[in-house]
Every structure is written in structure tokens, then in C-alpha cells.
Chain A
Amino acid sequence: MSTPTPTTERETLSSRPGGRHDLPLTHPTLPRFAPALVGVMAVAAALLVGLLLGWGLALMTLLAVLVYAVALPLWARIVEGTRAAKDRLVTTLVWSAFVLAMLPLVTLMFEVISKGAKMLTAQFFTYSMRNVIGEGGGIYHAIMGTLLITLFAALISVPVGIMAAVYLVEYGQGKRMARVITFLVDVMTGIPSIVAGLFAYALFVIFFGPGVRMGFGGSIALSVLMIPIVVRSAEEMLKLVPDELREASYALGVPKWRTVVKVVLPTSLAGIVTGVMLAVARVAGETAPLLIIAGDTDSVNFNVFSERMATLPVFIYYSFTQPGVPPEFGEDRAWGAALVLIVIVMSLNLVARAVSKLFSPKTGR
């Protein structure tokens, strides 16, 4: 065989016109202020057109974005080449999508804060609505109700959810039972929250007779909604634990159940805790099931096992639909409670992040 020697091979490559040695490593670039410049011009153009035609703010914004998304890539196309132009275009699109997605969140936060912030006084947090007509009162009873009911819901769902996930990942692989459970969990994910409330109510009527109201019933209803979320997130986290760690443990003569408890669960703890926190945050704002089974009251009730219990979502609902006369005070309280609820849910998310930092395996590097 007459294969060319490496030297001749290289020579032919480099001598070929436009061969790989001619590859330019630099190309002209737009000035750094180019995006800002185009942005200013796009805004100016949109303002001009908009004012001339008497458009609203939304239309003008849209026009400005469009002008920007066309002008910048075009300019880049001429100066920098196709790849850079595509990059500019996609960057613009991604940023617009991001802003669009943030819009509802920001406006919602703005609305709630502007209407609810003035309610946040010491009294608001320490008083219940007992014997309050008109101004005054607070949401102490509703905060306690939400915390207690959610706590009990978590106490039910976390063990059940994590154990189900452990079964699915560690023991059920490929078994019929595991497929059935996965299917049921999927179905549970889709249960409307009002149905979960009706279920809890029907369940408690069997034991306590019709008309029963109880905070714990709310916990049951919420855990129906929470369990599938916990199962799903814990399942994903357990699947992330590499098999090598399980095998390392087995090879030391550690039984499977101990491996699960002492190696697999600790390794995935951060993710599981995060998942649980997010699930709690998700159900803490549920209204419909609590409306049915936990009911509402004006006084503080610390006993989840008897009598009606107020919760923040239900409190908001009633303060809005039946604000009393005059309606301002009730509506103000509703906004204040909404703000508190949002803050609670957000701080749960923050706690989840902190916790996952705290528990995640340390690399020490």
C-alpha cells in the first residue's frame, strides 16, 4: 500500500488554497455600545411613530422590541457575519421572553405590596378577628391555622411520599406494583383541589357525621395534593444517586435497607428537602379544599382535631366576598393577608434553597 507519509500529507493540506492554515481567528466586531445605541434608537423610533399615531404604551413597547430585534442583527450581519447576527437575534428573543415571563410576577408583586403593605402592623399579626366589626382586627388566627394545617399535611405526606419514592426507585424496578403506583401517582397529580376537599369531607363524615369541620381534615385534603409532588421530586432525586455508591456500600457487606437509609437517602437529602419545601409552598396557598373541610372562624383555634379553623387563603376569600359594611376594611385585610401568604410561600422557597446548600454533599474543593 502506498499511503503518503505524514509530512507530505501536511504539506498538501497547508498548500491548498483556503486550507485550514488560512482560517482567520479574528473578525470585525460591533462597538460595545452597539446594543445600547440600537436600543435608544428603537425606543425613539417607537415613541415617534406611537405619538404620531396616538398608540398606547403596550403597542409602542412592542414596536420598540421589534425594531431592536430587526436592526441589531441586521447591523451585526453586515459588520460581523451570519453567526454573530444569529447570536444577537437569539439573545434578543431570549431576553424578551424572559421579560415577558417576569411581567406577571412583577405586576402581581407590585399590586399586592402596594395594597397590602400598609396593613402590616403589629396588631395585624397579633389579633384575631374575634368581635371585630369594621376597622381593626388581625390575621393571627389565620396564620396559625395555615401553619398548623400545612404542618400536619407535611407530617402525613413526607413519610408516605418518601417511602413510596424509595420503593419505586430501590425496590420496585420493573415490577408490576411499581408501574401501578407510578400510574396512580400520575393520576393523583391531576386531582383538582376541590375534589381533594370533597374527598376529605366525605371521609370525615363517615366518622364524625355530616357537617363536620376540622383543621385536620384540611391537612388530609392538602396531603392528597402534596403526596404526588413529594413522590415525584423524591423519586427524581433518588434516581440521581449513582449506582456506584450503592455498590460500594453492598461491597462492604451492608444490607440493602441500611444502604438505602444510610447512603442513598443522605446523599439525596438536599434534593428531597428542597422538593418537600416546594410541595409545602405549593399547597400552603390552596383555598378550595380548606373552604369545604376546615371552614372559617374569627377566633384562634390551636386544635386541628376539633372545630373550624381559619386559614389565610380562606380568610382572603371571605374578606373579599363578604367584606362587611363599609367594605374598605375587609378588602384591606384581604390584601394584607395576601401579602403575608406570599411572603410565607416565598420564604419557604428561600429556606428550601438554604437547606439544599446546607445538606448537599460537600466536595471541599
Chain B
Amino acid sequence: MAKSIDVSDLDIYYGDFLAVEGVSMTIRARSVTALIGPSGCGKSTFLRSLNRMHEVIPGARVDGKIVIDGQNMYDADVDPVQVRRSVGMVFQRPNPFPTMSIYENVLAGNRLNSKRMPKSEADSIVEKSLKGANLWEEVKNRLNKPGSSLSGGQQQRLCIARAIAVEPQVLLMDEPCSALDPISTSAIEDLIHDLKSDYTIVIVTHNMQQAARVSEDTGFFNLAGAGKPGRLVEMNPTSKIFSNPDEPSTEAYISGRFG
């Protein structure tokens, strides 16, 4: 089910503003890839270009190639809606649908696309996804309560459940733990660990320990200078990045000797 992604020479623009320049990387299937780098260097921007969410912003566009499953997702005849069905996304801030219950939130991907399914199948998808997101035990008795009645960390796991309920090939996570306490964070890290066997996962994080704990590969993004576009400085196995990186700037960033 999981797919690898090949990015080559990707330039990402907001209107005339070149935010990220010349990114080439390979994201391995069934593994976790972490993206780190200082604020504003374009990690979120890059992540959003991986499922064509970037172009949702007016004036935003992308040059270059992202090949998944042998297909360039930026080819003219590719439907962005199809891309997003196979590349799911979890956002930095939890965003459950306020009009829907917990149950409906998990099924949102199916329901919003008007997929008809028998009640038993829907129930089993909900249970499976919530268990997958480590949330089942906490909410199984109040599935009909609004999704926004959960705590922040629970909402984030609800959003993860919602994302995996449509069974994507790839899961993108933009700082999924930045608003969470250590316990929820470790629950989500455990979850990432479990999901790895079925999904290709890309996670943006500001937390070095987290990157070191959960990821196989790490990409370090940086700005060439103020007002210059962000670029990928180094992409290597996580163990190498954290012990013996190729680039001095990577080492400086990781060890905290960096502005």
C-alpha cells in the first residue's frame, strides 16, 4: 500500500515570491522521514506541495517534479483531488469539523465523498481508525459527541484517525505534536511507529529528539540568507545526521549553535 516519493528540482512559489528552491529528495516507502530546519525555511510549504495542497492558496504554484508510483503528480492531466486521496495530511493545529460528531469526523473522508456503505462497515472503519490513532478507549462511549468537545491532544489524534480512515498511501504530518503535552506526544510517536508498517510518513518537527526517535531519514532545510528562498541542505539517514552530518550547517543547527 505504501509508496515512495521522488522529488526533483522543486521550486515553490507564493505568487512571485520563491519560498523554496531546488529541492530533490527521495522519500522511502514504509519509513518515516523527518524534516527539520529553522522557522520560515519552507518545511510546511514543501510538505503541502507533496499532496498538491500548496496550490489551494491563491497565486501559489510549483515548478518541478514529484513522482509517486511512477507518475508525476504535477502533470497537467493529474487530478489534485485524486492525489490528495492517496496522500493524506495532518495539520499543525487540530481541525476537526465542528458540525460533526466524533464518529462522523472519522468517516468524513468517506461521507463527504458520498461513499455509501452499510452501517456495520462504517462502524468497523471508525473503530479501526480510532484504534489506529490510539483514541478508541478514550472516546468509544461518546462517539456521538461533537469532535470539538475533545481536548487538544485528543482532537489531534481524531484528525489522524480521520486521515487514516481513507487509507492513503502516504501520510504527511506538519508539526503534529507542537501543541501537545508529553503524554499525548508520546502517544502520537507510538502511533507513528505503528503506522510505519503500512504508510509512508513524512513529519515536520522542531523537536530534534522527536526526529531522532521516530524517523529513518532526516532532511535539513535552511535559508541561504534573509530574504533568500529555503532549500534542502542535507538529506541522510537519521543516525548519520545526528552523529556525523555531511554539512557543517546541519551540525551547527542540531547542536544548537545556530541563530
A residues apposed to B, CB below 8 Å: 173-174, 242, 244-255, 258-259, 262-263, 266-267, 269, 361-365
In the assembled complex, the CB of A107 is this many whole angstroms from the nearest CB of chain B, namely 43
How long is the Cα–Cα vector from A55 to B149 in the complex, in angstroms? 61
Taking a contact as CB atoms closer than 8 A, the residue among B82, B109, B112, B146 that contacts A363 in the complex is: B146
Contact A267 B84 (CB under 8 A): no
Q: Which 9 A-B pairs have the closest CB atoms?
A: A253-B85, A364-B149, A361-B98, A252-B109, A251-B89, A364-B146, A244-B95, A253-B84, A254-B112
Output the nearest chain B residue to A265 by Cβ-Cβ distance.
B99
Output the nearest chain A residue to B80 by Cβ-Cβ distance.
A250
- For the residues of A in contact with B, the DSSP-based class is helix
9 example contacts (A-B, Cβ-Cβ < 8 A) are as follows A245-B95, A246-B56, A251-B91, A252-B88, A252-B109, A253-B82, A262-B111, A363-B98, A365-B148
Output the nearest chain A residue to B110 by Cβ-Cβ distance.
A252
Q: Known: A173-B58, A250-B84, A253-B166. Contact between A361 and B51, CB under 8 A?
A: no
By a CB distance below 8 angstroms, the chain A residues around B148 are 361-365
By a CB distance below 8 angstroms, the chain B residues around A255 are 81
By a CB distance below 8 angstroms, the chain B residues around A246 are 56
- Judge if B27 is at the interface, Cβ distance under 8 Å: no
- Judge if B136 is at the interface, Cβ distance under 8 Å: no
How long is the Cα–Cα vector from A253 to B93 in the complex, in angstroms? 19
Contact A174 B58 (CB under 8 A): yes
Contact A365 B149 (CB under 8 A): yes
B contact residues, total (Cβ < 8 Å):
32
How long is the Cα–Cα vector from A253 to B209 in the complex, in angstroms? 32
How long is the Cα–Cα vector from A269 to B99 in the complex, in angstroms? 10
By a CB distance below 8 angstroms, the chain B residues around A248 are 91, 95-97, 159, 162
Q: Known: A253-B82, A267-B99. Contact between A258 and B145, CB under 8 A?
A: no
Contact A254 B109 (CB under 8 A): yes
How long is the Cα–Cα vector from A363 to B93 in the complex, in angstroms? 17
In the assembled complex, the CB of B111 is this many whole angstroms from the nearest CB of chain A, namely 8
Taking a contact as CB atoms closer than 8 A, the residue among B99, B146, B166 that contacts A252 in the complex is: B166
By a CB distance below 8 angstroms, the chain A residues around B166 are 252-253
- Judge if B25 is at the interface, Cβ distance under 8 Å: no
In the assembled complex, the CB of A262 is this many whole angstroms from the nearest CB of chain B, namely 5
Q: Which residues of B from 5 to 31 have beta carbons under 8 Å from A?
A: none
Mark interface residues in B39-64 (1 if CB within 8 Å of A CB, else 0): 00000000000010100101000000
How long is the Cα–Cα vector from A119 to B243 in the complex, in angstroms? 91
By a CB distance below 8 angstroms, the chain A residues around B93 are 244
Output the nearest chain A residue to B88 by Cβ-Cβ distance.
A251
Q: Known: A247-B53, A247-B56, A248-B159. Contact between A258 and B112, CB under 8 A?
A: yes
By a CB distance below 8 angstroms, the chain A residues around B149 are 362-365
How long is the Cα–Cα vector from A254 to B91 in the complex, in angstroms? 16
- Judge if B124 is at the interface, Cβ distance under 8 Å: no
- Judge if B108 is at the interface, Cβ distance under 8 Å: yes
How long is the Cα–Cα vector from A250 to B86 in the complex, in angstroms? 12
In the assembled complex, the CB of A15 is this many whole angstroms from the nearest CB of chain B, namely 37
- Judge if B113 is at the interface, Cβ distance under 8 Å: yes
